[in-house]
């Protein structure tokens, strides 16, 4: 069975602080893909990143960075120098193709950036 755990239900920080969103996953497959999506208050789901299980390189995109560690089954997301526009619900998701061809989502972390 596949599972994604986002233990942080809600995080509130002051603007310009760094913040890390945790994601822990479970799968029996050796080939799998991990994703992060952003859901701003307007409600749409915005794709942020995809990482496959064979690529443990960390990735940086502007103020966003992702730390993938297979040893701890984690795929954490860090926002550096947070801004009010980063306020959103962030979802971590897993695809391993072992069952239905859909994504398994975590329950999401609601990030609040206070000015």
Partner 1 sequence: DAGITQSPRHKVTETGTPVTLRCHQTENHRYMYWYRQDPGHGLRLIHYSYGVKDTDKGEVSDGYSVSRSKTEDFLLTLESATSSQTSVYFCAISEIAGGTTDTQYFGPGTRLTVL
The footprint of partner 1 (CB under 8 A) covers 4, 31, 33, 35, 37, 43-45, 47, 50, 91, 93, 95, 97, 100-103, 105-108
At closest approach, how far in Å is the CB of 20 from partner 1?
A: 19
Can you name the residues that pair with 84 across neighbouring β-strands? none
Q: Do residues 37 and 45 touch, judged by C-beta distance below 8 A?
A: yes
At closest approach, how far in Å is the CB of 27 from partner 1?
A: 13
Closer residue to partner 1, CB minimum distance, 70 or 97: 97
Listed in order, strand segments (DSSP E) in 40-87 are 46-52, 59-61, 64-69, 74-79
């Amino acid at each position: 069975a596949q599972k994604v755990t986002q233990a942080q239900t809600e995080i509130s920080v002051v603007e310009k602080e760094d913040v890390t969103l945790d994601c822990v996953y479970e799968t029996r497959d050796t080939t799998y893909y991990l994703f992060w999506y952003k859901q701003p208050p307007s409600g749409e789901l915005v794709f942020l990143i995809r990482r496959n299980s064979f690529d443990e390189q960390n990735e940086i995109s502007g103020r966003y960075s992702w730390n993938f560690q297979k040893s701890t089954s984690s795929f954490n997301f860090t926002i550096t120098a947070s801004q009010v526009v980063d306020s959103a619900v962030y979802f971590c998701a897993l695809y391993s193709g072992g069952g239905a061809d859909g994504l398994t989502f975590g329950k999401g972390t609601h990030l609040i950036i206070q000015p």
